[in-house]
């Protein structure tokens, strides 16, 4: 796992502005952001991967719909805020990065939904 000193410029930005970004992301509902495709969401929840999970808004909304979620967020501070906000939800948080997603690949899981939103 990368430390903040070795973080990418993008991750550093998200860490430097974590609280403001967390509040901004949480201010807009999952249903509003993803409403155009939600009717395609399976009525039988499964395992979802949320890449660039940020504040945990989307991961939390999926978990509340019964999904088990792997939330990937490389920015330490933003991930910490997301984790704190989703305590008690069926969400596992990972510090992993695109394009390789090495930690995710090592899980050897099959996902019924992969969400890559605003990444």
Give domain 4-116's CATH number out of 3.40.50.150, 2.130.10.10, 2.30.110.10, 3.40.50.300: 3.40.50.150
- Over 60: is that where the pLDDT of 2 sits? no
Q: pLDDT, tens digit, for every residue of 85-98?
A: 999 999 999 999 99
Instruction: Please spell the DSSP secondary structure of 71-83, one letter per residue.
Output: EE---HHHHHHHH
In the chain, where are the structural domains located?
4-116
- Over 60: is that where the pLDDT of 80 sits? yes
The confidence score (pLDDT) of residue 117 equals: 87
**Spatial CA neighbour of 59 closest among 80, 30, 24:** 30
- Over 70: is that where the pLDDT of 6 sits? no
Q: pLDDT, tens digit, for every residue of 18-65?
A: 999 999 999 999 999 999 999 999 989 999 999 999 999 999 999 999
- Over 50: is that where the pLDDT of 4 sits? no
> How close are the terminal C-alpha atoms of the chain, in Å?
19
**Spatial CA neighbour of 62 closest among 92, 107, 96:** 92
pTM of this structure: 0.88
């Amino acid at each position: 796992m990368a430390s903040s000193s070795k973080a990418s410029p993008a991750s550093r930005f998200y860490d430097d502005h974590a609280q403001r970004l967390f509040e901004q992301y949480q201010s807009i509902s999952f249903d509003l952001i993803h409403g155009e495709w939600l009717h395609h969401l399976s009525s039988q929840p499964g395992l979802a991967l949320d890449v660039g999970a940020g504040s945990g808004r989307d991961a939390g909304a999926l978990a509340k719909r019964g999904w088990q979620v792997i939330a990937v967020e490389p920015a330490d501070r933003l991930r910490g805020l997301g984790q704190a906000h989703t305590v008690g939800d069926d969400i596992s948080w990972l510090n992993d990065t695109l394009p390789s997603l090495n930690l995710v690949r090592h899980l050897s899981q099959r996902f019924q939904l992969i969400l890559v939103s605003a990444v």
